Structure 1
Amino acid sequence: MTSARQLYLYIVKNITVYPEKEAQAISYMLLEHYMRLRNIDVLVDRPIPENTAQPDWDSIIKRLNNNEPVQHIIGSTEFCGLEFRVSSAVLIPRPETEELVQMVTRDYAEPDKNISILDIGTGSGCIAIVLARFLPHVSVHAWDVSDEALEVAKENARQLIADVTFAKQDMLNVTFPLPGNIVQFDCLVSNPPYVTYSEAESMRPNVLRFEPHEALFVEDNDPLLFYKAIADFGVHHLKQQGKCYVEINEHFGAETKKVFEERNYKKVEILRDINGKDRFVRAIWA
């Protein structure tokens, strides 16, 4: 292929496991990553110099057609305008989670002293790192139970120059004293596992085969397991008027809200995402 458009059309044509629009988006990601070619370069059919080094496109396309996520192939993804390293040890950040981060940044935008935020189940570190970057006046802590995930998160924090304190901690079996000897936080934020195993059959192979199940799934007989643990933790470790923000399963909005109300949280709200689905719960500990 001697031009950007020829290469783009070749990749799109040969990606067979995705609908055309997704194949087009994936192609643009690949061209940007490997060739530094932008959408406009494809539109104007920019020539590719003969001596330009190119990856093995057929090998990459084969991996895509085997349902390997494009983010794993290129090793990174964009989240809130920042580029994060990802691997099979962590979930690939979703656009909905950007909305969760935006809620927190809006509520804590005003500089205040001694504000501390805890990200529970940090994965790639995307939530904690963006909060640390966008809210430099805030002290950000992040926990995960996975050593591999914490390594990815720490590397992302180094690369993105974000001041986050990471620690290994199991939210379902919290050990004391807490990392850093912090007793109370102003804010808890989490995107915990919330997909039930019965929903797995409707999920795509690129998720089921390549993303960590422990970060995705909960048992059908206790789908609110992590929300109960987070809410219970907040009862003892949120300051008065402290806030809790969680991403939720759209099918359990009312039930998740009830978890917090039963523990005497106030102003418990179900908030919808950009697609109009119940996606977040925000609650205040008073």
Structure 2
Amino acid sequence: MATAKPLYDRLSKNITAFPPEEAREMAFMLLDHYFGLRKTDVLTDKPLPPNRTEPDWFKILERLNRQEPIQHVIGTTIFCGLEFEVSPDVLIPRPETEDLVRLIMHDFADRTDDVPILDIGTGSGCIAITLARFLPQSVVTGWDVSDVALTLAQRNAEHLKADVTFEIQDILNVPTDFVHRYDCVVSNPPYVTRSEAAVMERNVLDYEPGLALFVDDNDPLVFYKAVADFCTRHLTNSGACYVEINERFGEATQQVFSDRGFTNIHVYKDIHGKDRSIRATF
């Protein structure tokens, strides 16, 4: 009877384009995705499902060894405990963004009335959908400039049974007659400068959308200025703005909000001690 441990060993040994620790994590992810085997199942060498359909392991290993993200290979990723479909058309959700979502959920957990929320640059919909799922009082809208991304986000919302309205909209060109107001505006906008691309890993640079990643070096805070300007007109008096930021520009991004009249601005650090997000209120 075929068991999990020998297959795990074979996969982790043959994922050679990544450090051994990452290769082992990827092997766990593959066995979980294709056979529903958790880490403890693998380590205790549980039998493989008897009626399993074997994927093409050679092709999977080939893709991984070209440094294609494993999330693209299996087509999904886990974000805040929910499984999201991903593709090269959207950013792969990351743990740092989970921290931003948890901060919002904490801040609005006690609200009993409707909480209108806008997610700017929604991508896969991970922020908008998670908030809609875990803040039942929320009324969530997600914006993106990519119709392909919005189609994928809509599929994720339907799969996860989340009530989110998705709209094609560019924060750099919001109509002047726009009148809606929000208690929460959240954004994980493009913030990697093009000069930083030289030191980025191939699995990000070659496989994730530049539209969602990069900004020009001559104006790296362009999206934060636009989000902050938007909030001065469309955030409610008791509302808050939440943004994920480039670690290099923590103080400068804080200044963007300060210049626009925000008086309570807090920079949060990630688990590595780097500036990673900002919460701002008037």
Q: Normalised by the size of structure 1, how large is the TM-score?
A: 0.95
Matched, 1:254 2:231: no
Amino acid of the structure 1 residue aligned with 2:215: V
Give runs of aligned pairs for residues 106-125 of structure 1, distance below 5 A: 106-125=106-125
Using the TM superposition, give the Cα deviation of residue 48 of structure 1 relative to its aligned residue in structure 2, in angstroms.
Answer: 3.1
Alpha-carbon separation, structure 2, partners of 1:213 and 1:262:
29
Alpha-carbon separation, structure 2, partners of 1:281 and 1:53:
46
Alpha-carbon separation, structure 2, partners of 1:24 and 1:177:
53
Alpha-carbon separation, structure 1, partners of 2:214 and 2:230:
21
Does structure 2 conserve the Cα–Cα contact (< 8 Å) formed by 1:169 and 1:175?
no
Using the TM superposition, give the Cα deviation of residue 53 of structure 1 relative to its aligned residue in structure 2, in angstroms.
Answer: 2.3
Using the TM superposition, give the Cα deviation of residue 272 of structure 1 relative to its aligned residue in structure 2, in angstroms.
Answer: 0.8
Q: SS of 2:171's equivalent?
A: coil
1:76-119 deviation per Cα after TM superposition (whole angstroms, max 9, x unaligned)? 00000000000011000000000000010000001232321100
Amino acid of the structure 2 residue aligned with 1:283: A
Does structure 2 conserve the Cα–Cα contact (< 8 Å) formed by 1:28 and 1:39?
yes
Alpha-carbon separation, structure 1, partners of 2:61 and 2:196:
28
Amino acid of the structure 1 residue aligned with 2:175: T
* Residue number in structure 1 paired with 2:144: 144
Alpha-carbon separation, structure 2, partners of 1:198 and 1:140:
35
Does structure 1 conserve the Cα–Cα contact (< 8 Å) formed by 2:35 and 2:48?
no
Does structure 1 conserve the Cα–Cα contact (< 8 Å) formed by 2:76 and 2:84?
yes
CA RMSD of aligned residues (A): 1.3
Matched, 1:215 2:212: yes
Give runs of aligned pairs for residues 25-64 of structure 1, distance below 5 A: 25-48=25-48, 52-64=52-64
Using the TM superposition, give the Cα deviation of residue 225 of structure 1 relative to its aligned residue in structure 2, in angstroms.
Answer: 0.5
* Residue number in structure 2 paired with 1:93: 93
Amino acid of the structure 2 residue aligned with 1:233: F
Alpha-carbon separation, structure 1, partners of 2:33 and 2:95:
20
* Residue number in structure 2 paired with 1:160: 160
Alpha-carbon separation, structure 1, partners of 2:182 and 2:50:
57
* Residue number in structure 2 paired with 1:23: 23
Alpha-carbon separation, structure 2, partners of 1:150 and 1:52:
33
Matched, 1:102 2:108: no
More moved, 228-237 vs 267-276: 267-276
Does structure 2 conserve the Cα–Cα contact (< 8 Å) formed by 1:184 and 1:238?
yes
List runs of 5+ in structure 1 lacking aligned partners: none
Amino acid of the structure 2 residue aligned with 1:187: C
Does structure 2 conserve the Cα–Cα contact (< 8 Å) formed by 1:132 and 1:139?
yes
Q: SS of 2:228's equivalent?
A: helix
Alpha-carbon separation, structure 2, partners of 1:3 and 1:51:
13
Does structure 1 conserve the Cα–Cα contact (< 8 Å) formed by 2:120 and 2:189?
yes
The alignment covers a number of residue pairs equal to 282
Q: SS of 1:88's equivalent?
A: coil
